[in-house]
Structure 1
């Protein structure tokens, strides 16, 4: 599928209950949210849309690179963002609506790269690691002492999207990428890549709680309605039916 990295794909729903239009932003991350014939699909996107319908808000759903999504959600009111990892650094930057998923991350390499063997995280510092700009995995690796690469040397190399990051791994431009099994399987299905060519070689001591969050400046009454709608979807079983099968993979 041909993709334009910086294109914005929009879904605009107008509901009668509330006049406030909420901007909802996400990045492409199959199987939770992805593009299919110009439409945003996936269990994560569908759950968020059901929540917004339940709360009765008009919204515009956009799929953009993660750095742009975070910029919108940290500089404008009435912006929702998903699926965003809840971390201590981000705690005061957003207003948190509800948890979507728990994700476990590992370092992956190509099956053909038998020269890459890791027994501990420190061993990965001699390799070039692909990360997505602004992503929680990049931030976590920085906290563990990983530096950005200089020239063609080891370190972290940024990409604008997860698809670009995977392509760099396939092309040999990076040696490792941090990912969840769930996320990698989704990208393999979208790109036609054989997942058996991608091997996890080190589980990271890092789980992320992925959330739907709102920007600061979003009105308290909007937050209350969204959180109430989230609670209703948990209580009536919609959450488990839509997202239960994706947890901690």
Structure 2
């Protein structure tokens, strides 16, 4: 009788294990990102490049997971992933505010966030965040930059302008309608180049709070087996990826 019950228990555990593994989605996994060279770059319909994209592709392919990457504006990207289990997002800065809202899968490149002014504005002098409060700052809506400044007490009634994109902030900076532009260094560099204003802006203060490592992350309610599989395969693959070296080289070449 005891042997029979033992076999029955083993069979039950085996069945539960099979069910757990079967819970990993077999349909295509959807991964969302934005155009942010050289980390991720839209290169035409169905063509997505960039060093972070290469790292994400390597991980999913090594894990034998069928996936598709979508390039959308950041607001749409984050909205979809925040509301859809088993979806993924990159490159997402890992901040304290976001820590409990995502499943963090794999570290990618680092990003620095800074305040910029027009070089011609010799009247603007910044030594620390307290100096920044004297000036009007433009930020892109939905970004950690906006949240960070609001938490520090910056206000739209006083010294903060929240816009739909970094491009709008850049145009206001060029027209001296704002004093400072706050954003990721590469975002700012890309916008400068797209507007033909390279070399006309100057970095005045690096934000230590938001200069972070970016990640591949998943919706908080994603399947545990799927998340564990990707984390395990990243650890196995990590030494081959040379993430830091590849990221640094991509930034230098950009």
TM-score tier after normalising by the smaller chain length: 0.7 to 0.9
> How much is the aligned-residue C-alpha RMSD, in angstroms?
2.4
> Per-residue displacement from partner, 1:175-233 (whole Å, max 9, x unpaired)?
211234344334444x1534311101122232222111000221111112211232233
Partner of 1:198: 201
Greater displacement, 234-243 / 204-213: 234-243
Indicate whether 1:234 and 2:238 are aligned: yes
Once the two structures are superposed, the pairs formed by residues 24-63 of structure 1 within 5 Å of their partners are: 24-38=31-45, 39-63=47-71
Unaligned residue ranges in structure 2 (runs of 5+): 1-24
Paired residue for 1:170, among 146, 171, 174? 174
Shift of 1:45: 1.8
Contact 1:106-1:204 at 8 Å conserved across structures: yes
Unaligned residue ranges in structure 1 (runs of 5+): 1-17
Paired residue for 1:103, among 111, 122, 131? 111
Structure (1 or 2) with the larger CA radius of gyration: 2
Normalising by structure 1, we get a TM-score of: 0.80
Greater displacement, 229-238 / 43-52: 229-238
Specify which structure has the higher proportion of helix: 2
Change (3 A) 1:160 1:53: farther
Distance 1:234 1:200 in 2: 33
Distance 2:176 2:29 in 1: 41
Aligned length: 226
Once the two structures are superposed, the pairs formed by residues 122-161 of structure 1 within 5 Å of their partners are: 122-147=130-155, 149-150=156-157, 154-161=158-165
Contact 1:94-1:214 at 8 Å conserved across structures: yes
Normalising by structure 2, we get a TM-score of: 0.78
Change (3 A) 1:95 1:220: same
Moved over 4 A (4+): none
Shift of 1:94: 0.5
Change (3 A) 1:31 1:172: farther
Shift of 1:81: 0.8
Contact 1:129-1:176 at 8 Å conserved across structures: yes
Shift of 1:241: 4.7
Change (3 A) 1:89 1:125: same
Distance 1:164 1:23 in 2: 30
Indicate whether 1:208 and 2:212 are aligned: yes
Distance 1:231 1:244 in 2: 21
Indicate whether 1:67 and 2:75 are aligned: yes
Give secondary structure in 1 for the equivalent of 2:133: helix
Distance 2:41 2:172 in 1: 20
